[in-house]
Amino acid sequence: MKKLITGLAAVLAFGFYGSVNSAKSIEIEVAYPYSGLFDVTFQAIMPEFEKAHPDIQVKFRATYENYEDATATIFRESTSGNLPDVTMQGLNRQAPLVDKGIAKSLEPFIAKEAAFEKDGYHSAMLSLSTFGGEVYGLPFSVSTPVGYYNMDLLAEAGVDSIPTNWDEVIAACNKLEAAGKGTLYFGWNITGNWFHQALMHTQNVPMVKDGAVNMGGDAGLATLEQMKSIMSGCNMPNYSIADGQAAFNAGTIGMMFWSTSSLGSVNAAKADFVLKTAPFPGMAGVNNGTPARLPAGGNAAMLVSTSDDPARVDAAWTFLKFITSGIGAALVAETTGYVPPNKAANDLLGDFYSQNPNKLTAVEQLPLLADWFAYPGENGLAVTQVIYDYTEEIATGDADDMADLQEEMMEEINDLM
């Protein structure tokens, strides 16, 4: 396979990328989240983009800390009249930008592209950025939740097969503890209540229904009880995201449940142990012990430029299209653990997945893709925080009765909505 990463030695600065071109060059501004994940990706993409479009200067703004920060920042910039030209937003945060008229429909730009083929994108992925029958974003990176396993620690503890459901995960934890090993990091604190939505989708129940948060019923209670059984059954410390990932990378815990997006960084940082990924476990007794569906994580590139210069807007579209094209999508796959949203990337990747089977896990879960919901209304971000806060009570052991916790949590959510 021909390696596409040609610019990893380049320095990605939050200013102009590359050298200053002629006076006819056009400047656009771009903002994206998670520098720890995507800096290396843009270091690879930008030399390719500059070769193809030397007349476009790209200025990167400071990276968003996470998807909630990305949305909050765009809202502030919209109010102050200081929007970038292109923004990368979580798949679950696109709808608010569309509803408020911040994001531009891409249909007029697509219509002018003689060679543009919507079929180049996996239909399930493109639909994640379609609202009212129009495309408002092009998927840049798509992920699913997966299991990461330290096969050396599991073998030392006598665990001879990768767990397929959460009961088996807890049983593996018991063996790890009995062998004096660390157990797991279960990423309940990932952005956008993603693991709550994963456990709801596992039961084939959406997180949002009829414009309301849908965690007040039996599936919501089962989600909370499953989280409690995992965290208490495995004696999991209340890890921060950084500490949980550091513990796994150091080889001191046997399992980690997280987004496939971090596979590239885990491979780069982990200690000397055999790493395997496997599908996200199901809930025992539900859908034959396998998830019915899973939320699509990741982000999309959206055009939010307020420039009245048609040349600048066209340049922003050119950049947006390039980074989500076959070349851009292939580089995302190579530098991270995300799934390419564009089928054209497959030709460029060649035998990449046969050589990188841990990255194939997410690809094999694509048929399960479902919506990653944003909570409706002005207080959507506040609802995200409420669910986070109540779940942290489970992680710290401060909450024992999940029915009581569910009732209190839903009362607060309903007040906000």
Beta-bridge partner residues of 277: 148
Q: Give Cα separations from 348 to 4, 116, 326 (angstroms).
A: 8, 18, 7
**Confidence band (pLDDT; 50, 70, 90) for 417?**
confident
412 pLDDT higher than 70 = yes
Domains of the chain: 16-142+297-370 (3.40.190.10), 145-206+216-295 (3.40.190.10)
Closest CA to 262 of 275, 273, 252: 275
pLDDT at position 119: 56
Find, among 395, 403, 372, the residue nearest to 186 by Cα.
395
Percent of the chain predicted with pLDDT > 90: 68
295 and 372 Cβ atoms separated by less than 8 Å:
yes
Q: Residue 272: helix, strand or coil by DSSP? A: coil
pTM: 0.83
pLDDT tens digits, residue range 21-63? 444 689 999 999 999 889 999 999 999 999 999 999 999 999 9
Residue 116, pLDDT above cutoff 90:
no
pLDDT at 366 (0 to 100): 85
Could you tell me the two tokens for 417?
């909505």
Collapsing DSSP to helix, strand or coil, 358 comes out as helix
Mean pLDDT of the region 2-7: 38
